[in-house]
Amino acid sequence: MIPIRGLIRDEGWTKSPESIEFKVKNGPLQTFSADDTKGFGILSTNEIYKSKRIALLNITSSQVYITAPSLEARDSAQVFLQEIVTGNKAILFEFLNLSEQPHYFIEKDKLLKELYNYSFYKSIDDRTYLLVYDDYKKQLAQFCGDNEGFKAPIPPYQRKQLKQYIENYNNLSPEERKIYKPKNNRLTFDFDLNASFENWNQPPFVIENKFTYGIWN
């Protein structure tokens, strides 16, 4: 594990980033892809991002389908997913696609799976209907079915409600849900790398300004 602290250029991500621009104190601006970096944290906003390889589905509401679109992925990408909930049972991630639409992934027993929820238009007998794949309801019931005492209703496919649902399933206390709480307004971040960068010999440090972030490996 190689902890590095410095600055991340964040100009307002509208989709889940595949790479980030990072700079250590007095060092050059460098780009690190999700293939090279395990994750990073931004203390000022209490955000955590983890590098994950996800399957990509080609389902859009911008076209009318003659046959129903498949839930079988034909492509994949390594991206930084925002970790919404962490816990010893399940972890919830958010992925923003090119259209800035959120999709949610759940990691359990070290397996990452998308919670499917897609709207699409389909032509049936010369008429167009709006249909929805809401498989996430069955998926959540299956994922959380190992806890017989957990009887919460399946929530809407929205960040706040899914977050609360998974937190309740994990049965985390408020203290355990706290992530990256800044101390004394000092914004810190550690940067973890999968690769070895021998030319980075600077020790970890803290920059005390509002643009300081954290990354880790």
Same domain as 134, residue 37: no
pLDDT recorded at residue 99: 83
Q: Looking at this protein, which amino acid is placed at residue 45?
A: T
Same domain as 37, residue 95: no
Q: Can you list the residues of the chain whose pLDDT is less than 50?
A: 172-190, 192-217
Q: How many residues would you count in the chain?
A: 217
Tokens for 166? Answer: 């998974």
Same domain as 199, residue 93: no
pLDDT recorded at residue 202: 31
Instruction: Please state, in angstroms and rounded to a whole number, the distance separating the CA atoms of residues 74 and 76.
Output: 7
Could you tell me which of 108, 156, 164, 109 has the C-alpha nearest to residue 136? 156
CA distances from 184 to 179, 188, 208 (A): 16, 11, 10
Q: Looking at this protein, which amino acid is placed at residue 62?
A: S
Same domain as 156, residue 167: yes
Same domain as 121, residue 135: yes
Domain range for 143: 52-78+85-179
Bin 109: left if φ > 0, else alpha if -120 < ψ < 50, else beta.
left
pLDDT recorded at residue 2: 58
| CA R_g for the chain | 20
Same domain as 115, residue 104: yes
Query: Domains in the chain: how many in total?
Result: 2
pLDDT recorded at residue 1: 55
Same domain as 170, residue 126: yes
Instruction: Please state, in angstroms and rounded to a whole number, the distance separating the CA atoms of residues 156 and 163.
Output: 11
pLDDT recorded at residue 8: 77
